Amino acid sequence: MSDDRCYPFLLPFKRSFPPAYDSCSLNVLETALDQVAVYRPWRAFDPGRGHPVDKRYAAMPALTKKDIREHFPQGLLPYDRDINRGLASGEIEFVDTSGTIDDSVTNIWNQEWWNASERASWKLNSYAAEIATGDHREAILASPLSVGFASDDVALPMEKRHLSRFLFLNEKTSPLSWTSEYMDRMIKELEVFRPAVFEADPSLLAKLCRHIVAYKKTVFQPRLIVLTYEYPTNFHYRQITQVFDAPIASSYGSTEAGYVFMQCEEGKFHQNSDFCRVDFQPLKSEHGGPVLGRILVTTFHNPWYYIVRFDIGDLVRIDGKGSCSCGRDSGLILSAVEGRTKNITLTRKGRVVTLRELDNTLSVLEGVDEYQFHQVAGDVYRLHLVSQRMDRFTLGEEAREILSKLYGKEAKVSVLFEKAIAPETSGKYNISGTLFPVEIEKFLDERYACRKREYNDDE
């Protein structure tokens, strides 16, 4: 029952992988098909053991968050694993991801596996490989809905937010409630804690940096800044580098998939191929393919949670050279992560615009603190801007002009100035997107993307 239209996308250059990459891929796939309930219907898609492992993967559907919710927890681990024993022993626990109702998921969390995945990712950046020893101090600035301790009513003292080698700087679920005194507390705690690594949500770190610049504060300089949790915009980088002189690396992954890519010191993203498989599905050429596409992630070495061809929800750009001046050549190399699929917008002619393309277009604007962009309808667009500029009319006209060049001269672009932009209920910012449903599958190159068939659970 395999579909011969669906075969792996062949990159125009040779890739290298760790020696165990194919065997790990095969072991995970066959264990999933044979022993994990959520994948039992997928057997109908399998061309069989006599075929190359890449072809077998390419024939499979994508795992979605909806699948995880519907089969959690027993349907996501092998039949011989006892979920109650794992919970009782402390080997695993249940962890909820932040997000909207459609995005939030409860996952089986294996801390030992997570730590190993993180350690492997450090090797992909020279600064992290040198600084991150496993017992180094790390300050974290993120929404407590993602990580850390939440407390909106009562301020938590520093010792209540200090866990092992980590210090969580923020306990408030919305940055709109941050006061000058609250951000001054963060600055003071950085000086006291003196972290080697500062891990941060770029939206929150940029907000702190705007405060530091506005009030001419001085701040402790860590040896490395790692951006994660959200897409870092050009405005975020601009504001962060006004304050911090440490090298900046972007870490990419998810609760389900662990650490998938790490940005090296040369700015490219390298696959954490010791701990995951990544399958690439290009978009149609008119939408940026074959180098632009979505990725599906399969995890290795986690006996408690079988994640196969997980639609992680992001678009990436494959590096055209297939090599990097940093010298690392294992797995896929990306020139960029382009943003989440839910962040795409469409031109008047229906072409996909990724968050990165939108952000690069808007980056020529001066004096912008933050923004949010929505496509309300086919030709109606709305840009929300936060800016300290006094000439708002001029800024608005500049924004409309550059957006009309991107989306089409018939585009109806309105610019609204805001005091601040609120995060989603997840605590994260949704920088761009449409206010109407858009399915990324319709933009994928059909030669490399299998359509999910109807099947019975008994097959």
List pLDDT tens digits, range 19-35.
Answer: 999 999 999 999 999 99
* Per-residue pLDDT at 283 exceeds 70: yes
Mean pLDDT (whole number) for 245-264: 96
Every domain of the chain and the residues it spans: 21-340, 345-437
> For residue 396, what are the contacts with CB-CB under 8 A and spacing of at least 6?
385, 415, 417
Q: Which of 90-104, 286-300, 406-420, 421-435 has the lowest mean pLDDT?
A: 90-104
Local structure of 368: helix, strand or coil: strand
Cβ-contact 304, 81 below 8 angstroms? yes
Rounded CA-CA distance 359/345 in Å is 12
Share of the chain above pLDDT 70, in %: 95
For strands 258-263 and 432-434, give the pairing.
unpaired
Category of 5 on φ-ψ map: left (φ > 0), alpha (ψ -120 to 50) or beta: alpha
Alpha carbon distances (Å) from 24 to 18, 19, 21, 228, 295: 10, 9, 5, 27, 18
Residue owning tokens 């700015």: 267
Mean pLDDT (whole number) for 95-105: 69
Share of the chain above pLDDT 90, in %: 88
Mean of per-residue pLDDT scores for the chain:
93
Q: In what order do the strands lie in the sheet with 166-168?
A: 162-163, 166-168, 138-141, 197-200, 224-227, 248-254, 258-263, 269-271, 333-340, 310-318, 292-299, 276-282
Residue 54 corresponds to which amino acid?
A: D
CATH homologous superfamily of domain 345-437? ANL, C-terminal domain (3.30.300.30)
pLDDT of the residue at 200: 97
Could you please state the CATH topology (level 3) that the domain comprising 21-340 is classified under: Rossmann fold (3.40.50)
Say what the pTM is.
0.93
pLDDT of the residue at 83: 95
Helices and strands in the chain: count of H runs, count of E runs = 11, 20
pLDDT of the residue at 167: 98
Q: List the structure tokens of 442.
A: 């319709």
Q: Which of 13-17, 289-293, 360-364, 441-445 has the lowest mean pLDDT?
A: 13-17
Alpha carbon distances (Å) from 17 to 20, 198, 273, 329: 8, 30, 7, 8
Q: What are phi and psi of 233, to 5 degrees?
A: -85, 170
* Per-residue pLDDT at 5 exceeds 90: no
Using pLDDT thresholds of 50, 70 and 90, give the confidence band for residue 6.
low
* Per-residue pLDDT at 159 exceeds 90: yes
Mean pLDDT (whole number) for 153-168: 96
List pLDDT tens digits, range 432-458.
Answer: 999 999 999 999 998 887 655 443 344
For residue 340, the surrounding DSSP H or E stretch is strand 333-340
Residue 375: strand pairing partners: 381, 434
Q: What are phi and psi of 259, to 5 degrees?
A: -90, 115
Mean pLDDT (whole number) for 43-72: 94
Rounded CA-CA distance 102/347 in Å is 26
Q: Which of 226-230, 258-262, 451-455 has the lowest mean pLDDT?
A: 451-455
Q: Which of 1-5, 86-90, 307-311, 372-376 has the lowest mean pLDDT?
A: 1-5
pLDDT of the residue at 101: 45
Cβ-contact 170, 148 below 8 angstroms? yes
Cβ-contact 129, 270 below 8 angstroms? no
